[in-house]
Each structure stands twice: as structure tokens, then as C-alpha cells.
């Protein structure tokens, strides 16, 4: 299986000079990839950092800008590595610090940044700090965790992992006291009241920043501090600590990003950006995701429109992170009880598909592997405000395995080829850290990178082209968002605007063809140019602008200014725009164009924004 070789020598970084691009994360496409699940370089059945290095060409080819690595630190792996037993050591199965350093250099050489997970709320109970804390209450680590004589404290804090835990307190037979934990009972929460804990965490962050990581996904940060009489989430002192972390980053580490993982309502999450953008630069927008699934299944835009309208403004330097799926269950914490029942009824028909307050499935099976729906979801992900975060394997429509425990069913090995172990590993198939997916539809024999590289109509090739198209328009990352209403409730339309870069997105959430009339009077005289084929649509006038969409169809249009107002740059656009005869025939056929055209077109164009263009 081959992808084009990188065009830069690996000794040199393709990234802009340090300090020159502090807001890169606003334009970036992120890609979450599990070290354990991507590629096994030494045939032990477990993915590793050297395997990841071998696959960087593929990721560069795909066109993603930043990789997010979930924890790859020393760990007993009882929670996919989120149970850390040493913050500054690589799990030996994955490699060592030198391998990580090389991985980072090689990613940077290909113009990709790397952020890593940092789990500051809790450690594994195997962490030496916890072992010392439980055995020597008066020692140096005695106060590193939250201990109590009984289990009655903080009764208003909810339980998050309802499938496995019945209390946030667990009795430790060694210390003969209870310890506090918001997640698994083998994951004691650190005691942030203790300044030495804060120092130890900042030291560990510095360790990775010094190695050159481009930032952190800050795991489970709402729970750092506890306070009696509260639900122990989003407390002021938690924000104080995060602001302190940001100060460290700003003082010594230019161009690094803090991405906050707070599964909370938008009004609570915005606080993680800080009042003046002095906390985390990025935060996941959790509530958007389930509403995409609801909107499409109900064939109604309202769930999505409503959450977008409820999303507060954020500081200038801040950016949302949006996603469809990740390594966890599709969480339903940020919906009403009624909506949750609806989601379970629609998307978790087998009770095995449920996990905690969510659904443990991958994107393709959630959408019944329907090409149009998969494309619509990805188009929404790439066009709604925020930086999109893809999940490894979803670019080829990998399936899940609901017979595996916990959330492992969405963490199976990447499927590269139809060969043994899907090209992930040459080890004995029985030795895999998790079995390869062997499903007749989603299994590696059918669903794999190699076959999709060969087929220009595959999901993989389509997604790559859409990422290229996105990169040509800085407005997707930087622009404002304004919904364009219409009388047809199944169609979600919005305008993204960044200076002169104006893009109109029109999405049919219904499985049936739909007409829509849009009030585009503010763009009177503009010409919509469809972005994948560069076909010109009729000029916008004062009457409602009429479009028809195929079932689950969508359009992305550049709104091109009337010629009189166009700048020199845009005249070039006009010259290379597809001739109207071709345009007419494509229009009649329904706006789909051959990949070569898109490729050729984007190759000949100059773009102001450095993020853009195929590499």
C-alpha cells in the first residue's frame, strides 16, 4: 500500500517559524489517533510510535494539520491509558521518549503538529504517588489525593461512569480511609488543594512542552477541585489553576494550544476560554454533536439551529473543537432526558450498544453505512464553526465491535489492507491487543485504506478532497456564522464570512429531495460558485433564491462579488471558473465532478491563506 512520498526532507520542519503562527489551531483539521491502534512496527500485536512514524505520509496525504494522541504514558491500561502511572514515561509497548521525539520531528517535517492528552484530574492507583499516599499518610505524598474518613462528602457530585461505579468514594484497605474519584475506582482524583500537586502537574506539562509538543488536550478538567455544597464541577479555583497553566505556556512556549475537554453546556464551557481569552484557547463543543445525529434522524434543522443560537460568543483568540465521534461513547450527557431516549431508541437498538450515558458505536454503523449520510455528516463537521476533529478509521468508514467490553469496540486496529491483520501487524492474529474487525460489511477485508486509495469515489478520497476545499477558504476556520432561515424545516443553511471570503452552506437533513428558498438579498448581485466543481450558479437577485437538493445532499458555495466590486485576485477566479457550457451540463447532472478537476483546479490557484492547498 503506497501513498505519495513526502516532498520535504525529514530533517526540516514544514511548519512556519516558531512564534509566527500563534492561532494555527483556528484553521487546523485535527485527527485523533490511538498509538495502540494505528500500526504495529515490531509484530507484538500492539500499535507503537515507530508504527505511527511509518504512517505519517498517509496522514500528510490525507491533509490533516494536527494529530491528537490520547495517553501513551506508562499505565496499567485499565482505562485505555487514561489511568496514568507515570506522567513522563512512555508505555514500553509503545516505545520510548526517543521514539516520541523522532515521531514529533517527523510529523513537524511533514507540516503536521501534535497535541497530546494530559490527564490532570486523576492518576492510576498504580501511580507511585498513590502508592505512597495510601501507605504513608504523613509522608510527602500523604496529601496528594482526596482522602476522608467516611463516604459522605460532596453528595451533590454526580456519578459519571454509571455502568461501573455506584459512588465517587472507595474505601482503601491500606490507609483505611476513603478516596475520592470521579471516574473508575482504580483512578483516584489528585488533590489540587495541595500546591505540590499543582507544581508536579506543571512540571510534567513542561516536560512535554520542552520536548516540542504543540499542545495538550486537557482531559476531564471540570473536576479538578471539590467544594462542599456544589456539584464539584467548573469551580472558580479550577479556572484559576488553568489560567496559571496558560501563563506558563504563554511565557515560555509560543504557538502551543490548550484544548479543554469539558463535557458541559456551552454557557459553562465558555468559561474555560477565560474572560479575555486567558485560559484555554480551545474547548470541545460537546452539545453540537448529538444534535447533528438528532437533526438528521428527525429530518429537522431545529436541534442544530437551537444549539448554535444558544452558543455564546467566544474571545477573539478562542476556537471550538467539534467532532462526530471519538474514542469514548457518543455521549448523551448534554441533552434532555427525552432527547436521550430518542437517541437511544434510534441509534442503540441493541442494549449492548449503550455505555454509561451514551452509545458505544462508530460513525459508519451509526449511519447505516449510507454514503450520502456519511458525506452530509462530514460536510457539516467541516463547515460548522470550530476546528473539526476526525477520529482515526472514520475516514474509511470503519465499523465497531459491540461484543468487546467498555469502549473497546470503537478502538480496534486501523484497517490498512485486506492482508493478515488488516496490514496493522504481522503478528499472530491471536496476539492482537484487540481483534481486527471481521464484519462482512465493515471488516478489514472490505473496508481498508488500500482499497479506498484505489477507488477515486471512496469515502477516503472524497474526504481528502473536502479537506482540500476547506483549506482554500479561511472562512471555514475563521469566519462568522449566520444561519439563513427558510420555510423548509429540513434544510439547514448558513453563511460563513471572513472579510471577502464568504461561503454559503446548504444542507438537506432529509433522505428525500427537497426544495428550498433562501433570502439572500444581502448578497444581491453575487454569484454562488459550488466549491467542489466550481460550477457557477445563477446570480443572486432580490427574489428568494431557489435551490433543490438531493436526499441528504448539500452544497458549499463561494459567494463571489459582482465583477465591478471584485478585486484583482478575484478576477483570476473568474477566468479559471468552469465554462458555462460545462457548468450547464454539470448542473443538469447534479453538481458532482471528477476528482481530477478538483485537483487541477486547486493546483492552479493561489491562496492567501497558508493553511490551504494540497501538499
Question: Which one of 79, 219, 394, 536 is the catalytic residue?
Answer: 219
Alpha-carbon gap, residue 37 to 401, rounded angstroms: 14
* Interaction of residue 255 with Ca ion, rule CB under 5 A: no
User: CA-to-CA distance for 33 and 103, rounded, in angstroms?
Assistant: 13
Q: Is 219 a catalytic site residue?
A: yes
Q: Which of residues 219 and 255 has its CB atom nearest to ligand ISL in the complex?
A: 219
Among 52, 104, 116, 160, binds ligand ISL (CB under 6 A): 160
Stretch that binds ligand ISL, among 329-337, 468-476, 536-544, 565-573 (CB under 6 A): 329-337
3-state class (DSSP) for residue 508:
strand
Q: Are 35 and 48 spatial neighbours (Cβ–Cβ below 8 Å)?
A: yes
Q: Does 357 bind ligand ISL (CB under 6 A)?
A: yes
CB of 155 to ligand ISL, least distance (A): 20
Question: Which secondary structure element, helix H or strand E, spans residue 394, and what is its range?
Answer: none
Considering the complex, what minimum distance in angstroms separates the CB of residue 119 from ligand ISL?
6
Q: Check binding of 356 to ligand ISL (CB under 6 A).
A: yes
Distance CA 474, CA 61 (A): 20
**Are 273 and 239 in contact, with CB atoms under 8 Å apart?**
no
Q: Which is nearer to ligand ISL, 103 or 284 (CB)?
A: 284
**Extended beta strands in 474-581, E state:** 480-483, 491-498, 501-508, 514-518, 527-530, 545-549, 554-560
Does residue 290 bind ligand ISL (CB under 6 A)?
no
* Interaction between residue 329 and ligand ISL (CB under 6 A): yes
Specify whether the CB–CB gap between 493 and 406 falls below 8 A: no
Is 328 an interacting residue with respect to Ca ion (CB under 5 A)?
no
- Determine if 427 is a binding residue for Ca ion (CB under 5 A): no
Residue with smaller CB distance to ligand ISL, 214 or 329 = 329
- Contact (Cβ atoms closer than 8 angstroms) between residue 346 and residue 299: no
Site size toward Ca ion (CB under 5 A) is: 5
The nearest distance, CB 180 to ligand ISL, in angstroms, is: 14
Classify residue 6 by burial, with Cβ atoms within 10 Å: 0-12, 13-18, 19+: middle
> Which one, 94 or 147, has the nearer CB to Ca ion?
94
Interface with ligand ISL: number of residues (CB under 6 A): 18
Among residues 46 and 502, whose Cβ is nearest to Ca ion?
46
Which grid cell sits at 88?
513522563
Check residue 45 for interaction with ligand ISL (CB under 6 A).
Answer: no
Q: At what angle do helices 337-347 and 288-298 cross, to 10 degrees?
A: 60
Interface with ligand ISL, residue 415, by CB under 6 A: no
Which C-beta is closer to ligand ISL: that of 40 or that of 79?
Answer: 79
DSSP string for 78-104: SSTT-S-SEEEEE-GGG--HHHHHHHH
**Which residues have a Cβ under 8 Å from the Cβ of 393 and sit 6 or more positions away?**
37, 362, 412, 414, 415
Interface region with ligand ISL, contact rule CB under 6 A, candidates 227-235, 322-330, 337-345, 430-438: 322-330
Candidates 28, 33, 46, 221; binder of Ca ion (CB under 5 A) is 46
The residues facing 86 across adjacent strands are 74
Footprint (CB under 6 A) of ligand ISL, residues 172-201: 183, 187
Q: Which is nearer to Ca ion, 94 or 223 (CB)?
A: 94
Which window, 41-49, 61-69, 236-244, 519-527, contacts Ca ion (CB under 5 A)?
A: 41-49
Interaction between residue 48 and Ca ion (CB under 5 A): yes
Nearest CA-CA partner of 287 in 384, 376, 362, 368? 384
What x-and-dash track marks residues 218-257 binding ligand ISL by CB under 6 A?
Answer: -xx-------------------------------------
Strand partners, 548: 515
- 3-state SS assignment for residue 31: strand
Pick the catalytic residue from 261, 329, 400, 501.
261
State yes or no: residue 124 binds ligand ISL (CB under 6 A).
Answer: no
- Give the contacts of 610 (CB within 8 A, at least 6 positions apart): 16, 21
Q: Which of 124, 263, 471, 493 binds ligand ISL (CB under 6 A)?
A: 263
Q: Is 282 helix (H, G, I), strand (E, B) or coil?
A: strand
What's phi and psi for 518, nearest 5 deg?
Answer: -110, 140
Element containing residue 302 per DSSP (H, E): helix 302-310
How far apart CA 60 and CA 5 sit, in angstroms, is 10
Q: Indicate which single residue of 328, 394, 400, 472 sits in contact with ligand ISL (rule: CB under 6 A).
A: 328
Element (H, E) at 180: strand 177-180
b (16+ CB within 10 A) / e for 100-118 = beebbbbbbbbbbbbbbbb
44 binds, among ligand ISL, Ca ion, none (CB under 5 to 8 A by kind): Ca ion
Q: Does 85 bind ligand ISL (CB under 6 A)?
A: no
Residue 331 interaction partner, one of Ca ion, ligand ISL, none, beta carbon < 5-8 Å per kind: ligand ISL
Which residue stretch of 246-254, 324-332, 372-380, 428-436 sits at the interface with ligand ISL (rule: CB under 6 A)? Answer: 324-332
Contact residues toward ligand ISL (CB under 6 A) are 79-80, 82, 160, 183, 187, 219-220, 261, 263, 327-329, 331, 333, 356-358
Contact residues toward Ca ion (CB under 5 A) are 40, 42, 44, 46, 48
Residues annotated as catalytic are 219, 261
Amino acid at each position: 500500500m503506497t501513498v505519495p512520498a513526502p516532498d520535504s526532507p525529514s530533517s526540516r520542519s514544514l511548519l512556519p517559524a516558531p512564534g509566527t503562527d500563534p492561532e494555527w489551531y483556528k484553521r487546523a483539521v485535527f485527527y485523533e489517533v490511538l498509538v495502540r491502534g494505528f500500526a504495529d512496527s515490531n509484530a507484538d500485536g500492539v500499535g507503537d510510535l515507530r508504527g505511527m512514524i511509518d504512517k505519517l505520509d498517509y496522514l500528510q496525504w490525507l491533509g490533516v494539520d494536527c494529530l491528537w494522541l490520547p495517553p501513551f504514558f506508562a499505565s496499567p491500561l485499565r482505562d485505555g491509558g487514561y489511568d496514568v502511572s507515570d506522567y513522563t514515561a512512555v508505555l514500553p509497548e509503545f516505545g520510548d521518549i526517543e521514539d516520541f521525539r523522532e515521531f514529533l520531528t517527523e510529523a513537524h517535517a511533514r507540516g503536521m503538529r501534535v497535541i497530546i492528552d494530559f490527564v490532570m484530574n486523576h492518576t492510576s492507583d498504580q501511580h507511585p504517588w498513590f502508592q505512597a499516599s495510601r501507605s504513608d499518610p504523613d509522608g510527602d505524598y500523604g496529601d496528594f489525593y482526596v482522602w476522608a474518613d467516611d463516604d459522605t462528602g460532596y453528595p451533590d457530585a454526580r456519578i459519571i461512569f454509571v455502568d461501573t461505579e455506584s459512588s465517587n468514594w472507595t474505601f482503601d484497605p491500606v490507609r483505611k480511609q476513603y478516596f475520592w474519584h470521579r471516574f473508575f475506582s482504580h483512578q483516584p482524583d489528585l488533590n489540587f488543594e495541595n500546591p505540590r500537586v499543582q507544581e508536579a502537574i506543571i512540571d510534567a506539562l513542561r516536560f512535554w512542552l520542552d520536548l516540542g509538543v504543540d499542545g495538550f488536550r486537557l482531559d476531564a478538567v471540570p473536576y479538578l477541585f471539590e467544594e462542599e455544597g456544589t456539584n464539584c464541577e467548573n469551580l472558580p479555583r479550577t479556572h484559576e489553576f488553568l489560567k496559571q497553566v496558560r501563563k506558563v505556556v504563554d511565557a515560555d512556549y509560543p504557538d502551543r494550544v490548550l484544548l479543554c475537554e469539558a463535557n458541559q453546556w456551552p454557557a459553562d464551557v465558555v468559561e474555560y476560554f477565560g474572560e479575555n481569552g486567558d485560559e484555554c484557547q480551545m474547548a470541545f463543543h460537546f452539545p453540537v454533536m448529538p444534535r447533528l445525529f438528532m437533526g438528521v434522524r428527525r429530518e429537522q434543522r431545529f436541534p442544530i439551529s437551537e444549539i448554535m443560537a444558544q452558543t455564546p460568543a467566544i474571545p477573539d483568540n478562542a476556537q471550538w473543537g467539534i467532532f462526530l465521534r471519538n474514542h469514548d461513547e457518543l455521549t448523551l450527557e448534554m441533552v434532555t432526558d427525552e432527547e436521550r431516549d430518542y437517541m437511544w431508541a434510534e441509534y442503540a437498538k441493541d442494549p449492548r450498544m449503550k455505555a454509561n450515558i451514551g452509545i458505544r458505536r462508530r460513525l459508519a454503523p451509526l449511519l447505516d453505512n449510507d454514503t450520502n449520510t456519511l458525506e452530509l455528516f462530514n460536510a457539516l463537521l467541516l463547515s460548522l464553526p470550530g476546528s473539526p476533529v476526525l477520529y482515526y478509521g472514520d475516514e474509511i468508514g470503519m465499523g465497531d465491535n459491540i461484543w468487546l467490553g467498555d469502549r473497546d469496540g470503537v478502538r480496534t486496529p486501523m484497517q490498512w489492507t485486506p492482508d493478515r491483520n488488516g496490514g496493522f501487524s504481522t503478528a499472530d492474529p491471536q496476539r492482537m491487543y484487540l481483534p481486527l474487525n471481521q464484519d462482512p460489511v465493515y471488516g478489514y477485508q472490505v473496508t481498508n485504506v488500500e482499497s479506498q486509495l484505489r477507488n477515486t469515489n471512496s469515502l477516503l478520497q472524497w474526504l481528502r478532497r473536502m479537506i482540500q476545499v476547506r483549506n482554500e477558504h479561511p472562512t471555514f476556520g475563521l469566519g462568522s456564522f449566520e444561519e439563513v432561515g427558510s420555510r423548509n424545516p429540513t434544510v439547514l443553511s448558513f453563511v460563513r464570512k471572513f472579510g471577502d471570503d464568504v461561503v454559503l452552506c446548504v444542507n438537506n437533513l432529509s433522505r428525500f429531495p427537497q426544495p428550498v428558498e433562501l433570502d439572500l438579498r444581502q448578497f444581491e448581485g453575487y454569484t454562488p460558485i459550488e466549491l467542489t466543481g466550481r460550477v457557477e450558479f445563477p446570480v443572486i437577485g432580490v427574489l428568494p433564491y431557489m435551490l433543490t437538493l438531493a436526499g441528504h445532499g448539500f452544497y458549499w458555495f463561494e459567494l463571489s462579488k459582482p465583477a465591478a466590486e471584485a478585486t484583482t485576485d478575484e478576477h483570476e477566479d473568474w477566468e479559471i471558473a468552469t465554462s458555462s457550457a460545462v457548468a450547464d451540463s454539470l448542473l443538469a447532472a447534479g453538481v458532482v465532478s471528477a476528482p481530477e478537476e478538483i485537483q487541477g483546479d486547486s493546483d492552479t490557484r493561489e491562496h492567501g491563506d497558508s493553511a490551504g492547498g494540497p501538499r
